[in-house]
Amino acid sequence: MQVNFDISKPIYQQVIVEIQRSLVRGELEPGSKLPSQRDLAKELKVNHNTIQRAYREMEGDGLVETVRGMGTFITKNSEIVDQIRVKMAEESIAYFINEMRSLGMDGEQIIKSVMERVQNQYQRGETV
């Protein structure tokens, strides 16, 4: 796992978001085992307590479950995965709209710009 840490946000939250992204993208499968807390801390070069907090938060949210003596596993609950996907998409859209508004565009201009981009990519056979 590769995380480029942003100093303005707590590291444990960034670890959670990266695990969520990996799950939503299909890089992690529901039910798959996560690295041990110590192994992930070593891999990311962060304090073990930081990873421990991330795992604890994810467990509290139902994203992972820890089986004593076996490890920590991504939930098999597809509803939780779908909720994460929707939440991340909504956050991305909100960020995009705010950025476009900061460029002076109104809602109609934003929609037109997006539609043109999608149509151009479709016509060229590119993935949208």
pLDDT at 127: 67
Q: Burial code of 76-115, b = ≥16 C-beta within 10 A, e = fewer?
A: eeeebbeebeeeeeeeeeeeeeeebeeeeeeeeebeeeee
Query: Is the model's pLDDT at 96 over the cut of 90?
Result: yes
Stated pTM of the model: 0.80
pLDDT at 125: 80
* pLDDT value for 24: 92
* Segment 9-68, tens digit of pLDDT: 999 999 999 999 999 999 999 999 999 999 999 999 999 999 999 999 999 999 999 999
Instruction: Return mean pLDDT, the chain.
Output: 93
Q: What is the pLDDT of residue 82?
A: 92
Under the banding of pLDDT at 50, 70 and 90, the label for residue 71 is very high
How many angstroms separate the CA atoms of 16 and 54, rounded?
6
